[in-house]
Amino acid sequence: MNAQNHATLLDVRNLEKYFPVRGGIFQRVIAQVRAVDDVSFSIEKGRTLGLVGESGCGKSTLGRAVLRLHEPTGGRILVDGWDITGLRRNQLDEYRRRMQIIFQDPFASLSPRRTVAQIVREPLDVHRIGTPNERERRIIDLLADVGMGAEVRDRYPHEFSGGQRQRIGIARALALDPDFIVADEPVSALDVSVQSQVLNLIAGLKKKRGIAFLFISHDLAVIQHVSDEIGVMYLGRIVEQASVEDLYTEPKHPYTQALMSAIPVPDPAGKRSRIVLEGDVPSPMNPPGGCPFHTRCPQAEEICRRTAPLGVNIGSTENPHYVSCHLHA
Amino acid sequence: MNDMPETPLLRVRDLIIEFATENGVVRAADKISFYVHENETIRLVGESGCGKTVTGLSILGLIPSPPGRIAGGSMKFMGRELVGLKDREMREIRGRDISMIFQEPMTALNPVFTIGNQMADVLMRHRGLTQRQARTAAIEMLAKVSIPVPGKRIDEYPHQLSGGMRQRVMIAMALSCDPKLLVADEPTTALDVTTQAQVLEQISKLQAEFRMSVVLITHDLGVVAETCRRAIVMYCGRIVENAAIDDLFTSPRHPYTKGLLDSIPRIRRHRLAELPIIPGRVPDLLHLPCGCRFAERCSRADALCAEQAPALVPAEKTSNLFACHHPVPEMPVERLS
């Protein structure tokens, strides 16, 4: 977890993103939505951190804050040990080149008026990379990388299915040869039979090009396949973080356990007792005091209502396993 | 399957639904036939564009027309033919005998009326209650779907509720006239996993309590395995397999069903190097192959499949149906009981 470590690509420390809520006739700030609240993690080169949580837990905001698409309101983001939190727009460009994003909805993230070639070439144009001829060649290579032929280059997004559009979005993200990509629910809008195709593609790119990913998903099964490490988010905080192996064999936080048990299993014989959580996720505008999960936690005790638990490492130094829960304090 | 009553609650036979588009007529459902018995839950499963939603909508006479129309076939509900009913007649059945819940509760609820207003509307129309009676009945229904403080929630607007809560309001509304058949179109898809579990449990509990039949439409085979007895798998407007749920999961006969089952992301003890996939993609409904529609993605396909569409036929020993020239060999099923 230190920036001196050569392998560390991204180091996020105590990141916060609060959104002001305005109200009244003077539109004064009357409250803060704590979308991301004191989150720290690091990602090594070529590794993938999976971020899992329910809608509204702040996982997408976190993904965007890391790229400074949302301006963080607190904390620091270090890339290769350099603090990029305070960089100005023109200084940031160099980092933007190395950091890309794949969006959830392939129907909204591609301009309907541009051809595939124009979409994939745009990052090259913006960053003035290569001659026009080189750019053209690069487009064909990129399309091949995502399993598409050169014949699609002059077609428009509406001519493609969801899975193919997502491939175009991935080709665009790869155009600048990034070493870090935020993938924000890249397969959740796709059909099951296509989902696995795209997941295999992402896993292959990661291996072949050594790209590090922050992979955001609400689906624990999807995230298991692509991640090396997993962080579980609840109400703007990471409540548990561990290696894939440890998290799935020994989930410690009651929320992680509930998430695991809530997944419908595609096997009628495999029905098991399920931890059904009561109620809904509380509003991040008015999070409960104490442990943010105590209102829905089946194991909550008196202390959980009073004080927020701190994250502790219950694993080893080489293989850390962080949990923020009084049961494991 | 032997103690079924003589006449099914709903009998759909050779249903054809077509949509006129700029580029030609699309057949969204092609000769769909199935039964729903009383007090039974069946699932319609398939990926987007397979025709499961239009089939569900057609049961309630909700196919937007134009551009859509029922181009053939019959749907008998409690012995009464639904195809060709006048709007007025259909309105009497809809909401009272057959109800529907939709995928996106926010768009299905009217944002400018309170929950209570919308629920009372249905109750006054179909059950002839007074405004006061309807309010009491609505509060009772909200309590039945486990909405906390229903007396207060009833005066709130849809935007004040969370997604899971809205879906439960939809369920309460759909069940308020004690329908015999509930069509649920992807009722949990827009919800988070933890709320998904709550809503699914709610539906199966109410199904038993109200002794109604449910047609559950979903793309998620995981959801399918949870509660139902029988599932119908659709692909490109046709039924490819109709089987008891245990058989479907242990021994799928249609290669598409098998591919779909294999490609579901699931938590595994050991990660696979590659997830199993179905290659290629769903053909365009405007340019369908003349033979089996799954043929070009199927590893078992041969020349026959490209030429001739297979019929939906019963399996040798069971009453399960599948439409395939070269079905996956039957696996010996080890029954647990």
Interface-testing mutation among A193, A199, A223, A263, with chain B (most B C-beta atoms within 10 A)? A193
Instruction: Return mean pLDDT, chain A.
Output: 88
What distance in Å separates the CA atoms of residue A170 and residue A300, rounded to the nearest whole number?
A: 43
CB < 8 Å from B in window 173-232 of A: 191-197, 199-200, 203, 218-222, 224-225
Give A3's pLDDT tier (boundaries 50, 70, 90). Answer: very low
- Give every CB contact of residue B222 below 8 A, 6+ residues apart in sequence: A263, A264, A265, A266, B264, B266
Continuous segment of H or E residues that includes residue B252: none
- What value of ipTM does the predicted structure carry? 0.74
Contacts of B234 in chain A (CB under 8 A): none
pLDDT at A268: 64
Q: State the average pLDDT over residues A61-66.
A: 93
Sign of CA dihedral A283, A62, A320, A82: negative
Radius of gyration for chain A, computed over Cα atoms and rounded to the nearest angstrom: 21
What distance in Å separates the CA atoms of residue B173 and residue B95, rounded to the nearest whole number?
A: 9
What's the pLDDT tens digit per position in B256-295? Answer: 999 988 888 788 777 788 888 888 888 888 888 889 999 9
pLDDT over threshold 90, residue A72: yes
Specify the residue for token string 């449910």.
B214
pLDDT at B193: 75
The long-range contacts involving A145-148, CB below 8 angstroms and separated by at least 24 positions, are A145/A171, A145/A174, A145/A205, A146/A170, A146/A171, A146/A174, A146/A201, A147/A201, A148/A116
Question: CA triplet A119, A142, A105: central angle to 5 degrees?
Answer: 50
CB distance A266–B224 less than 8 Å? yes
Its pTM surpasses 0.90: no
CB < 8 Å from A in window 223-242 of B: 223-226
More confident of the two residues A190 and B138: B138
- Give every CB contact of residue A243 below 8 A, 6+ residues apart in sequence: A228, A229, A230, A319, A321
pLDDT at A211: 94
Give B322's pLDDT tier (boundaries 50, 70, 90). Answer: very high
Q: State the average pLDDT over residues B49-56.
A: 90
Instruction: Return mean pLDDT, chain B.
Output: 86
pLDDT over threshold 70, residue A244: yes
Q: How many helices (H) and strands (E) does chain A have?
A: 10, 12
pLDDT over threshold 90, residue A232: yes
What distance in Å separates the CA atoms of residue A259 and residue A277, rounded to the nearest whole number?
A: 9
Sign of CA dihedral B4, B7, B9, B10: positive
A259 touches B at CB < 8 Å: yes
A55 touches B at CB < 8 Å: yes
- Which residue spans within A85-190 are E strands per DSSP? 99-102, 180-184
pLDDT at A63: 93
What's the pLDDT tens digit per position in B177-224? Answer: 889 999 999 888 777 777 777 788 888 888 888 889 999 998 877 766
What distance in Å separates the CA atoms of residue B258 and residue A153, rounded to the nearest whole number?
A: 34
What distance in Å separates the CA atoms of residue B123 and residue B91, rounded to the nearest whole number?
A: 14
Tokens of A129: 């990379």
CB distance B221–A266 less than 8 Å? yes
CB distance B196–A264 less than 8 Å? yes
pLDDT at B220: 79
Sign of CA dihedral A66, A53, B225, A104: negative
A266 touches B at CB < 8 Å: yes
Give B336's pLDDT tier (boundaries 50, 70, 90). Answer: very low
The long-range contacts involving A185-188, CB below 8 angstroms and separated by at least 24 positions, are A185/A60, A185/A104, A185/A216, A185/A217, A185/A218, A186/A102, A186/A103, A186/A104, A186/A215, A187/A217, A187/A222, A188/A104, A188/A217, A188/A218, A188/A219, A188/A222
Give A180's pLDDT tier (boundaries 50, 70, 90). Answer: very high
More confident of the two residues A261 and B2: A261
Tokens of A120: 């994939």
Specify the residue for token string 């015999």.
B180
Q: State the average pLDDT over residues B119-137.
A: 90
Which of B164-168, B197-201, B324-328 reaches the highest mean pLDDT? B324-328
pLDDT over threshold 70, residue A272: no
